């Protein structure tokens, strides 16, 4: 492909990439899409097709006046769009930008038109960056980078070609000049340059200090609507969201190995409720307190109850939370501390964590949790003594049907301990009831009775509510917890993907010594999503999305600080190790050298002098090595050893001639010098001739030399050294 054609093609493709990324970021009007697509198609045909078709397309062009009128109309349209139609600067500006793009694509004649096109394409990419953070931006960016390198390189080469062909005329793009073709080597070299540019881009991206001044920031973001985390939760509100596949968060367990996490469901606690009025749950302990921030960014939860010794090692969870319409922070039961970039974190008396306001953007935080277990003593205890506060707030039962109380007593009648009674209630619910989302609970006036006594089908909220009410009926303090049950393990990214449909409710039962123990009476859903053939692809894509989000979209100054700190700590460890090793080695070396010097030094000579001599010898050796390296790496690097010998011999010959008063200046060529020698020192002529011929063969012809030739040259040089120069008569001083 000729250079000119490749240049035009890459220019149009560059603009097309920017435009495509823009169309994915914002919904453009159909007429604008059609107009732009037509302009691209014509520009591509003009760039790529043969002369005949290009000629036909060329005749379809509008006059300059038409385009000027088009631009004026576009400008007027921009103001109308801004003031009347979209009434926002960004969409109106983008529509105007697309019209400018159409204009430039249709008038690619002069060099400045191409420059304008590049500027517009860059602005389109910038606009799409402002409008989206989705992962599809990444391939468009990469393509834009590669085509950008191609285009800039071709632009430069074409410009240079034109300057050489017609110096001074640089503004036109002549089509009649015979231009070089693109070769395979050029193709790969340019792609290698693009790869280099990409590598540098990544380097700069991670190194540029993140300074967000934010004078004109627009922080508006769309929240994901959640249910089940407000102050009052009606029984059955979770049903509608159980089909929603929207991702709510992703959870990594950095301290746990992948195979340990793969099949184990993870409870992510949101809000706990203690008061049930027969139709909805609420919190009678709404008082929240600010958590202590120590150290900076780490908020510690003050645990009121006893701490189980089994829960000494907290579980660390890195959570990437999507922007939700709730202020609740999620974590596995029960959170002990939260680490994140938050102004403050609050906690209520039931251990739920809250932010002061909902998050506008995707946020990452770390939760440390300690899951308590029932102690052996409490497992066996037939009766437990509860604190008054617990009895006051966690035994409330609404006016429910007496049959429910009877049912609870009947289930727990055979229990010999509290723990066993809890287990019996849970087992009863797990085995005697059927999981179904097809339950119109919100319309029912007695949803719990409907579930337990009539329909015997329901979902997590029904099961959890039933268990809490039944346990409270028999005097066991319990509460309902809403959150998410993460079951979808992403094997590519090594994290749990939590979706809206994973919203869940379960129970926490109180044991005076052990604390609040998580119990889930809900059986697995029979409608759980079956594995599909595209499941792994989805997982891989989601993993890539997560990486894109973490590494690019939400890369922050804190990440940079963490990397620098990690490097510094790593560097300090390496430096300490190295210095220890070196000091040990140097101590041994000094000791050995000291012993050797004391043995070798004759009495009377100070050891410092010997040390100085050794240091000087080492410096001289280093200089020699350096000189040798330099001579190898500079002029004679491409020559063999024998060829270098020839060049050295020629240098010696020049030195010999210079000693006889015949110096070769830098501007004199070898053959000129030979002529000079023949005229001024005829005896040396044959020798210099022979050595010069050999030198020219090696130096400029890169020909190999034989051993006999080398020996002959050395012999001739020896003869030359013995020769005495007789000064010609013309140069003798007159008497």
CB 498 to another protein: min, Å: 24
- Beta bridge partners, 311, equal none
How much of the chain is helix, strand and coil, in % rounded to 5? 55, 15, 35
CB 579 to another protein: min, Å: 34
CB 98 to another protein: min, Å: 19
Handedness of CA 331, 332, 334, 338 (dihedral sign): negative
Q: For residues 256 and 554, which CB has a smaller minimum distance to another protein in the complex?
A: 554
x/- string (CB under 8 A) for another protein, residues 71-110? ----------------------------------------
Q: For residues 595 and 702, which CB has a smaller minimum distance to another protein in the complex?
A: 702
What distances in angstroms separate CA 336 from CA 150, 299, 679, one per listed residue?
55, 9, 99
Q: Which of 48, 70, 136, 155 binds another protein (CB under 8 A)?
A: 155
Q: For residues 361 and 416, which CB has a smaller minimum distance to another protein in the complex?
A: 361
Q: Which of 41, 72, 202, 679 binds another protein (CB under 8 A)?
A: 202
Q: 3-state DSSP call for residue 321?
A: strand
Q: Which three-class secondary structure string do you get for 461-490?
A: HHHHHHHHHHHHHCCCCEEEEEEEEECEEE
Q: Which three-class secondary structure string do you get for 118-151?
A: HHHHHHHHHHHHHHCCCCCHHHHHHHHHHHHHHH
CA atoms of 26 and 302, how far apart (whole Å): 47
Residue 282: phi and psi, rounded to 5, are -150, 175
* Contact call for residue 160 and another protein (CB under 8 A): yes
CA atoms of 220 and 216, how far apart (whole Å): 12
Residues numbered 38 to 57 that lie near another protein (CB under 8 A) are none
x/- string (CB under 8 A) for another protein, residues 315-354? ----------------------------------------
| Residue 502 near residue 485 (C-beta atoms within 8 A) | yes
Q: Which of 56, 85, 89, 119 binds another protein (CB under 8 A)?
A: 119
* Contact call for residue 357 and another protein (CB under 8 A): no
* Contact call for residue 458 and another protein (CB under 8 A): no
Q: For residues 510 and 673, which CB has a smaller minimum distance to another protein in the complex?
A: 673
- Beta bridge partners, 368, equal 316, 337
CB 548 to another protein: min, Å: 10
* Contact call for residue 136 and another protein (CB under 8 A): no
CB 363 to another protein: min, Å: 14
Tokens found for residue 387? 């604190």
| Residue 293 near residue 349 (C-beta atoms within 8 A) | no
Handedness of CA 621, 626, 629, 635 (dihedral sign): negative
* Contact call for residue 200 and another protein (CB under 8 A): yes
* Contact call for residue 492 and another protein (CB under 8 A): no
- Tell me which residue of 112, 123, 103, 89 sits closest to 17, measured CA to CA: 123
Q: Which of 634, 706, 732, 734 binds another protein (CB under 8 A)?
A: 634
x/- string (CB under 8 A) for another protein, residues 12-41? ------------------------------
CB 518 to another protein: min, Å: 38
CB 155 to another protein: min, Å: 7
Which of the ranges 127-135, 305-313, 441-449, 624-632 carries the binding residues for another protein, by CB under 8 A?
A: 127-135
The site for another protein, by CB under 8 A, has a size of 57
Backbone conformation region of residue 12, classed left if phi is above 0, alpha if psi is from -120 to 50, else beta:
alpha
| Residue 485 near residue 504 (C-beta atoms within 8 A) | yes
x/- string (CB under 8 A) for another protein, residues 691-730? ---------x------------------------------
- Tell me which residue of 473, 475, 447, 482 sits closest to 462, measured CA to CA: 447
CA atoms of 508 and 102, how far apart (whole Å): 64
Question: Looking at 405-447, which runs of residues are DSSP E strands?
Answer: 434-435
Which of the ranges 270-278, 451-459, 549-557, 709-717 carries the binding residues for another protein, by CB under 8 A?
A: 549-557
CA atoms of 518 and 483, how far apart (whole Å): 12
CA atoms of 74 and 343, how far apart (whole Å): 46
Q: Which of 24, 32, 71, 152 binds another protein (CB under 8 A)?
A: 152
| Residue 117 near residue 148 (C-beta atoms within 8 A) | no
CB proximity list for 98: less than 8 A, separation 6 or greater: 19, 22, 28, 32, 35, 36, 124
CB 97 to another protein: min, Å: 15
x/- string (CB under 8 A) for another protein, residues 165-184? --x-----------------
Q: For residues 172 and 601, which CB has a smaller minimum distance to another protein in the complex?
A: 172
- Tell me which residue of 487, 494, 490, 496 sits closest to 528, measured CA to CA: 487
Q: For residues 132 and 457, which CB has a smaller minimum distance to another protein in the complex?
A: 132
Tokens found for residue 260? 């340990």
Q: Which of 3, 49, 145, 540 binds another protein (CB under 8 A)?
A: 145
Pairing relationship of beta strands 247-252 and 275-276 according to DSSP bridges? unpaired
Neighbours of 419 (CB within 10 A): 23
CB 329 to another protein: min, Å: 23
* Contact call for residue 679 and another protein (CB under 8 A): no
CB 22 to another protein: min, Å: 13
Tokens found for residue 606? 């100070």
Tokens found for residue 85? 């139609």
CA atoms of 10 and 5, how far apart (whole Å): 9
Q: Which of 67, 70, 136, 198 binds another protein (CB under 8 A)?
A: 198
CA atoms of 13 and 10, how far apart (whole Å): 5
Q: 3-state DSSP call for residue 335?
A: strand
CB 81 to another protein: min, Å: 22
Which of the ranges 157-165, 265-273, 332-340, 539-547 carries the binding residues for another protein, by CB under 8 A?
A: 157-165
* Contact call for residue 193 and another protein (CB under 8 A): yes
Q: Which of 54, 159, 513, 644 binds another protein (CB under 8 A)?
A: 159
Q: For residues 185 and 257, which CB has a smaller minimum distance to another protein in the complex?
A: 185
* Contact call for residue 143 and another protein (CB under 8 A): no
Q: Which of 90, 197, 371, 391 binds another protein (CB under 8 A)?
A: 197
Question: Looking at 140-297, which runs of residues are DSSP E strands?
Answer: 232-234, 247-252, 266-273, 275-276, 280-282, 288-290, 292-293
Q: For residues 136 and 386, which CB has a smaller minimum distance to another protein in the complex?
A: 136
| Residue 511 near residue 384 (C-beta atoms within 8 A) | yes
Residues numbered 209 to 238 that lie near another protein (CB under 8 A) are 210-218
* Contact call for residue 644 and another protein (CB under 8 A): no
CB 215 to another protein: min, Å: 6
Side-chain-facing half-sphere of 413: CA atoms under 13 Å:
7
* Contact call for residue 531 and another protein (CB under 8 A): no
Q: Can you give the binding site for another protein, defined by CB under 8 A?
A: 115, 119, 122, 125-126, 129-130, 132-133, 137, 141, 145, 148-149, 152-153, 155-157, 159-160, 163-164, 167, 193, 196-205, 208, 210-218, 552-555, 634-635, 637-638, 666-667, 669, 700
């Amino acid at each position: 492909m000729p250079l000119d054609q490749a240049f035009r093609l890459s220019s149009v493709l560059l603009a097309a990439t920017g435009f495509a990324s823009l169309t994915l970021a914002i919904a453009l009007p159909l007429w604008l899409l059609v107009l732009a697509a037509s302009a691209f198609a014509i520009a591509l045909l003009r760039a790529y097709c043969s002369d005949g078709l290009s000629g036909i397309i060329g005749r379809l062009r509008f006059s300059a006046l038409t385009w000027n009128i088009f631009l004026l109309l576009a400008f007027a349209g921009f103001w109308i769009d801004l003031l009347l139609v979209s009434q926002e600067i960004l969409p109106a500006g983008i529509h105007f930008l697309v019209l400018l793009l159409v204009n430039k694509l249709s008038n690619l004649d002069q060099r400045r038109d191409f420059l304008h096109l590049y500027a517009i394409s860059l602005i389109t990419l910038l606009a799409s960056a402002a409008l989206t953070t989705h992962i599809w931006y990444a391939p468009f960016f990469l393509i834009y980078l590669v085509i950008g390198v191609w285009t800039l390189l071709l632009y430069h080469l074409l410009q240079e070609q034109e300057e050489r062909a017609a110096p001074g005329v640089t503004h036109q793009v002549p089509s009649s000049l015979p231009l070089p073709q693109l070769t395979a080597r050029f193709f790969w070299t340019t792609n290698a340059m693009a790869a280099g540019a990409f590598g540098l881009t990544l380097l700069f991206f991670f190194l540029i200090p993140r300074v967000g001044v934010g004078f004109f920031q627009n922080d508006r973001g769309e929240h994901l609507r959640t249910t089940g985390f407000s102050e009052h939760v009606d029984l059955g509100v979770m049903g509608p969201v159980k089909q929603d596949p929207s991702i709510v968060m992703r959870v990594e367990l950095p301290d746990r190995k992948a195979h340990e996490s793969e099949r184990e469901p993870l409870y992510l606690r949101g809000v706990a409720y203690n008061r049930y009025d027969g139709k909805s749950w609420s919190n009678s302990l709404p008082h929240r307190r600010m958590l202590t921030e120590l150290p900076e960014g780490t908020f510690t939860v003050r645990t009121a109850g006893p701490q189980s010794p089994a829960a000494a090692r907290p579980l660390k969870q890195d959570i990437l939370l999507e922007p939700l319409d709730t202020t609740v922070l999620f974590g596995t039961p029960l959170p002990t501390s939260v680490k994140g970039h938050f102004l403050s974190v609050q906690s209520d008396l039931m251990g739920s964590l809250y932010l002061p306001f909902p998050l506008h953007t995707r946020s990452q935080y770390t939760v440390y949790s300690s899951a308590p277990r029932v102690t052996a003593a409490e497992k066996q205890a037939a009766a437990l003594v509860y604190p008054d506060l617990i009895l006051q707030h966690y035994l409330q039962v609404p006016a429910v049907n007496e049959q429910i109380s009877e049912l609870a007593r009947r289930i727990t009648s055979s229990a010999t301990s509290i723990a066993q009674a809890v287990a019996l209630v849970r087992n009863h619910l797990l085995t005697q009831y059927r999981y179904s989302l097809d339950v119109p609970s919100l319309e029912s006036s007695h949803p719990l009775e409907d579930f337990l006594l009539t329909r015997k089908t329901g979902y997590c909220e029904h099961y959890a509510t039933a268990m809490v009410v039944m346990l409270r009926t028999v005097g066991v303090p319990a509460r309902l917890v809403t959150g998410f049950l993460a079951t979808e393990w992403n094997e590519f990214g090594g994290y749990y993907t939590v979706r809206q449909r994973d919203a869940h409710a379960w129970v926490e039962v109180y044991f005076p010594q052990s604390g609040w123990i998580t119990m889930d009476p809900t059986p697995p859903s029979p409608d759980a999503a079956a594995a599909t053939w595209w499941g792994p692809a989805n997982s891989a894509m989601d993993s890539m999305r997560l990486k894109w989000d973490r590494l690019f979209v939400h890369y922050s100054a804190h990440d940079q600080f963490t990397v620098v700190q990690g490097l510094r700590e790593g560097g300090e460890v390496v430096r300490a190790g190295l210095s220890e090793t070196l000091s040990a080695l140097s101590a041994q070396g000094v000791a050995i050298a000291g012993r050797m010097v004391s043995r070798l030094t004759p009495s009377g000579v100070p050891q410092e002098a010997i040390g100085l001599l050794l240091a000087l010898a080492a410096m001289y050796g280093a200089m020699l090595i350096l000189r040798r390296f330099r001579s190898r790496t500079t002029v004679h690097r491409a020559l063999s050893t024998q060829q270098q010998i020839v060049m050295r011999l020629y240098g010696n010959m020049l030195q010999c001639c210079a000693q006889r008063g015949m110096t070769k200046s830098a501007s004199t060529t070898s053959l000129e010098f030979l002529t000079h020698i023949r005229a001024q020192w005829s005896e040396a002529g044959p020798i210099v001739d022979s050595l010069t011929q050999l030198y020219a063969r090696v130096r400029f012809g890169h020909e190999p030399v034989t051993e006999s030739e080398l020996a002959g040259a050395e012999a001739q040089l020896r003869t030359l050294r013995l020769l005495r120069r007789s000064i010609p008569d013309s140069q003798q001083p007159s008497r």
